[in-house]
């Protein structure tokens, strides 16, 4: 265990060097975020499938409870209960389009994690950095529980709980608790907690900042030596025992007798109560379903919680989103780490084609109804809150210039903003196999049906306790 402790201190030191311009010390946040006993307890596992070549290399690292798929190299890092998804890695010979350039790859893309400490973090690959299209890197970075690193290479960064970096290249930044970034590139900046920021330079800029007193006092706060606390943490902690049985058993029966055509239920997802799914549905790793209906082509991505809800079909539930006591029309998008918290006597109804922006909180005190084809953001408790927290997609598309509604500010081309979102939703549905016709348009739901899982374990005692042996696995 001595070498594991030294590794932790080394990572903290490396990150602090990168963040010296911000005068940030990550030590008080991460030294005790996970006990050494827990880091030594859990096995790690990896998936083998025929749809993408694998090559795993692990050295001088701890991988407690983490899952790997695709090509991945981990050096001098600690990963605790992380998901590292490599199912969209670019391959040798592909042409990658970025910033108006066509870039032909000379080798397969690889995920490289070095000198980093990731805690309950989702890593979803596909680097959008045109300078390094074959390398998805995470270096000198620490991330707290339920952060998402989605298509976002990071170097020298501190990601606080429930933060998301999406299609953004980050260097030497601190991203505050429950902040969402999709801004292309960002360096040497500190992003305040609760900021939702989407930007394409010279095209559009959307931003919203949660009231600090609401976010910290009720939902999520992160303090040195105390860790993460609030309703978000209580919500996931109350349900973690349901996941434990999945990791204690090597063989589990399918939760339903007959899986519909084209659908996929990950072996490491929780299924409670009476659920019903339709064809081409994807239920991903660490997703949680309870007494819900998912219509054709809908999906529940990693770290999603869907309970007592109905999703009519082709609905996208992005990583970390929670949908409780809600009815969603067709092709509704619920963004990263959204918290839709309805009640049995106060349902949330969302109309067809609507977009719930990433990191939106709808925590109701009364029934709420969102019309078709609307965009919603921010903090919503009652129907009247939608006046300043929603807009029809049609109206938004006409904006050329500036729009301010409450704490939300938008500048630029509204039509381009709406079009970019709708294009991405179509891409997600296509990539997940929502449109599979039995022969064409395969996606993750179909390709993921035949993944085999294999475990690896750390040294059980001695100075190396908790570290995994140097391993190279290639197919």
Give tens-digit pLDDT for 327-348.
999 999 999 999 999 999 999 9
Cα separations (Å) of 115 from 59, 78, 280? 11, 8, 39
Q: What is the pLDDT of residues 266-297, one digit of tens each?
A: 988 999 999 999 999 999 999 999 999 999 99
- Is residue 406 within 8 Å of 378, Cβ to Cβ? yes
Residue 87 is predicted with a pLDDT of: 86
Q: Which of 204, 155, 161 shows the shortest CA–CA distance to 180?
A: 161
* Intervals of CATH 2.160.10.10 along the chain: 2-237+451-474, 241-403+425-448
Would you state the torsion angle of the CA atoms of residues 181, 186, 188, 190, taken in this order, to the nearest 10 degrees?
Answer: -20
Buried b (16+ CB within 10 A) or exposed e, 102-115: ebeeeebbbbbbbb
User: Does residue 363 surpass a pLDDT of 70?
Assistant: yes
Distances from the Cα of 230 to the Cα of 57, 177, 234, 276, angstroms? 37, 12, 6, 31
By three-state DSSP, how is residue 9 classified?
helix
Give the model's pLDDT for residue 322: 98
So what CATH class is 2-237+451-474?
A: mainly beta
Question: For residue 128, which of 160, 93, 154 has the smallest C-alpha distance?
Answer: 154
pLDDT of the residue at 351 = 98
Q: What is the pLDDT of residue 357?
A: 98
| pLDDT for the residue 130 | 79
Residue 202 has pLDDT above 80, yes or no: yes
pLDDT score, position 134 = 87
At residue 245, the pLDDT reads 84
Collect all residues with Cβ–Cβ distance below 8 Å to 269 and sequence separation of at least 6: 246, 283, 284, 285, 286, 287, 288, 289, 300
Per-residue confidence band for 250, with pLDDT thresholds at 50, 70 and 90: low
Q: How confident is the model at residue 448 (pLDDT cuts 50, 70, 90)?
A: confident
**Whether the Cβ atoms of residue 121 and residue 162 lie closer than 8 Å to each other:** no
The band of 184, judged by pLDDT with boundaries at 50, 70 and 90, is very high
Q: Rounded to whole angstroms, how far apart are CA atoms 373 and 391?
A: 9
Query: At residue 100, does pLDDT exceed 90?
Result: no
Task: Answer yes or no: is pLDDT of 129 > 90.
Answer: no
- Nearest residue to 77 via CA among 89, 66, 88, 90: 66
Separation CA 68–CA 453 (nearest Å):
10
Residue 61: pLDDT band by 50, 70, 90 thresholds?
very high
Query: What pLDDT shows up at residue 67?
Result: 95
**By the 8 A CB rule, do 104 and 144 touch?**
no
Distance spanning both ends of the chain, measured CA to CA? 32
Split at pLDDT 50, 70, 90, the class of 452 is confident
Distance CA 168, CA 148 (A): 12
473 vs 475: CA distance, rounded Å? 7
The whole-number pLDDT of residue 89 equals 87
Q: Residue 334 and residue 354: Cα distance in Å, rounded? A: 9
pLDDT for residue 141 is more than 90: yes
DSSP 62: B
pLDDT in tens, 2-56: 999 999 999 999 999 999 999 999 999 999 999 999 999 999 999 998 877 789 9
- For residue 95, pLDDT over 80 is answered with yes
**pLDDT (average), residues 213-232:** 96
Residue 436: pLDDT band by 50, 70, 90 thresholds? very high
Query: Would you state the pLDDT for residue 96?
Result: 83
pLDDT of residue 49: 84
User: CA-to-CA distance for 445 and 194, rounded, in angstroms?
Assistant: 33
Rounded distance between C-alpha atoms, residue 121 and residue 217, angstroms: 23
Name the phi and psi angles at 388, rounded to 5: -110, 5
Q: Which whole-number Å values give the CA distances from 319 to 34, 244, 323, 440, in the listed order?
A: 22, 20, 12, 26
| Residues 170-181: b if buried by 16+ CB within 10 A, e if exposed | bbbbbbbbbbbb
Question: For residues 179 and 124, what is the distance between their CA atoms, to the nearest angstrom?
Answer: 18
The answer, yes or no, to whether residue 99 has pLDDT greater than 80, is no
Average pLDDT of the chain is 94
> Candidates 2.160.10.10, 3.30.750.24, 1.10.15.40, 3.30.70.20; correct CATH number of 241-403+425-448?
2.160.10.10
**Mean pLDDT computed over 244-254:** 78
DSSP secondary-structure letter at 343? B
User: Which of these, 278, 102, 463, 149, lies nearest to 157 by C-alpha position?
Assistant: 149
pLDDT given for residue 1 in this prediction? 81
pTM over 0.85: yes
pLDDT band at 149 (very low <50, low <70, confident <90, very high): very high
């Amino acid at each position: 265990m001595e070498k594991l402790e030294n590794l932790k201190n080394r990572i903290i030191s490396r990150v602090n060097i990168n963040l010296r311009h911000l005068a940030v010390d990550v030590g008080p946040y991460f030294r005790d975020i996970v006990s050494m006993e827990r880091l030594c307890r859990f096995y790690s596992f990896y998936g083998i499938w025929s749809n993408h070549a694998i090559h795993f290399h692990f050295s001088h690292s701890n991988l407690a409870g983490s899952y790997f798929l695709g090509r991945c190299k981990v050096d001098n890092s600690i990963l605790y209960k992380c998901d590292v998804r490599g199912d969209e890695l670019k391959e040798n010979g592909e042409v990658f389009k970025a910033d108006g350039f066509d870039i032909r790859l000379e080798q397969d893309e690889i995920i490289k994690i070095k000198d980093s400490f990731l805690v309950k973090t989702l890593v979803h690959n596909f680097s959008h950095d045109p300078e390094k299209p074959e390398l998805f890197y995470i270096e000198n970075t620490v991330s707290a529980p339920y952060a998402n690193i989605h298509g976002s290479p990071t170097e020298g960064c501190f990601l606080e709980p429930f933060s998301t970096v999406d299609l953004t290249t980050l260097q030497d930044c601190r991203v505050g608790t429950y902040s969402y970034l999709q801004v292309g590139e960002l360096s040497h900046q500190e992003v305040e907690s609760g900021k939702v920021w989407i930007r394409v330079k010279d095209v559009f800029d959307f931003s919203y900042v949660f009231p600090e007193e609401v976010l910290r006092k009720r939902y999520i706060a992160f303090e040195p030596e105390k860790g993460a606390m609030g309703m978000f943490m209580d919500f996931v902690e109350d349900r973690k025992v349901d996941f434990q049985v999945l990791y204690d058993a090597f063989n589990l029966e399918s939760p339903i007798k007959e899986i519909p055509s084209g659908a996929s239920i990950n072996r490491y997802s929780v299924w409670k109560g009476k659920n019903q799914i339709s064809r081409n549905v994807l239920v991903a790793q660490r997703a949680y379903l309870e007494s819900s209906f998912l219509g054709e082509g809908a999906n529940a991505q990693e770290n999603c919680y869907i309970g007592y809800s109905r999703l009519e079909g082709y609905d996208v539930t992005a990583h970390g989103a929670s949908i409780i006591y809600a009815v969603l029309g067709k092709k509704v998008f619920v963004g990263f780490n959204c918290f839709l918290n309805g009640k049995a006597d106060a349902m949330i109804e969302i109309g067809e084609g609507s977009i719930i922006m990433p990191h939106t909180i709808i925590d109701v005190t009364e029934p709420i109804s969102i019309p078709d084809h609307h965009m919603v953001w921010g903090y919503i408790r009652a129907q009247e809150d939608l006046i300043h927290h929603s807009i029809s997609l049609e109206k938004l598309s006409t904006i050329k210039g500036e729009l301010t509604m409450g704490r939300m500010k938008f500048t630029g081309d509204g039509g381009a903003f709406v079009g970019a979102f709708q294009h991405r939703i179509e891409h997600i549905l296509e990539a997940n196999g929502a449109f599979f016709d039995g022969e064409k348009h395969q996606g993750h739901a179909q390709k993921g049906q035949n993944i085999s899982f294999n475990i690896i374990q750390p040294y059980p005692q001695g100075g190396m306790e908790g570290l995994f042996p140097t391993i190279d696995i290639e197919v």
